[in-house]
Chain A
């Protein structure tokens, strides 16, 4: 079965993680859990990114002893998504840190982690 390749499986898993993350983000009422939902969503995206760059039977794109420098093009997986995912992870980290900080501050002001308590601004 062509469909059950490694990359396909990880892609689907990635998508599922995205969806699960979104579900958590949308349904949980606790702010921390919402942030966890977001982290899942983010991670799912990262999985998807890495899956996209996978080459069948490729190895890590590091030209050390394991890879022949002249045959590198046929031996390694795509380095670009890996580079991108690195950036994306850092960005995700920054965002998550900010979210946590905001929640911390919100909690300090109101002593509540319930998202419904922060509806003052609306309409």
Chain B
């Protein structure tokens, strides 16, 4: 590892952060347009973040409350940095030499755990309820995801993401989604859960448990969480792109592909109403699980 890698990493973070924020705005805009509204401005997320940082006062419930956003953002950034973002690029390969797919899968939990701890520290019962729901849901969609990952790793005989991407080069017929459709479907369904959009958004459930885990977060703390909300989904999109859709050799391809992938949860979310936790848990452990098992059997 050389120090220039740090610089490259900062560059990646910067690009992905902006991309994530814009993506957020654009997607919400699209959602509004579908609902025949004009919708927010595409740069609204920027304003929101600035506004939150511009808050003058902050309260804190304790050390963990304070550290939670740090955990969360570290988790998001780490996830991003442990993946090769652009295939074949030294600059945007980031720290993917530190670990493989397993690291990436497990590093997702870093942020989740930290956030959960902070939310709990706030002492707000609704935060805790949100965490309970969130963790329950995470456990259930991880199973098809894991099965899909195993299937893919076996398909390519490696856990190295770069190599997985490399194996998919040369046209869309080499993409995993074509070559290993069951694994891909299982993972894509799990992806719905991972993105936390409707119908699997009971974790946040605005108004019911105000907004779940981050209920007590405000001002700068919320700003950090918002940064993560930009980076983390983008990172996940990149991961799925790398695993299922042949990765990206340049930023344009990356933006196009991830945008299209993002449409999948958006569409589903627009169409389906919310599941209760027990429903979603049961659902994840039936249909996607069976698909995942089929994927495994078909290896």
A and B directly contacting (CB within 8 A): no
Which residues of B come within 8 Å of A, CB atoms?
none
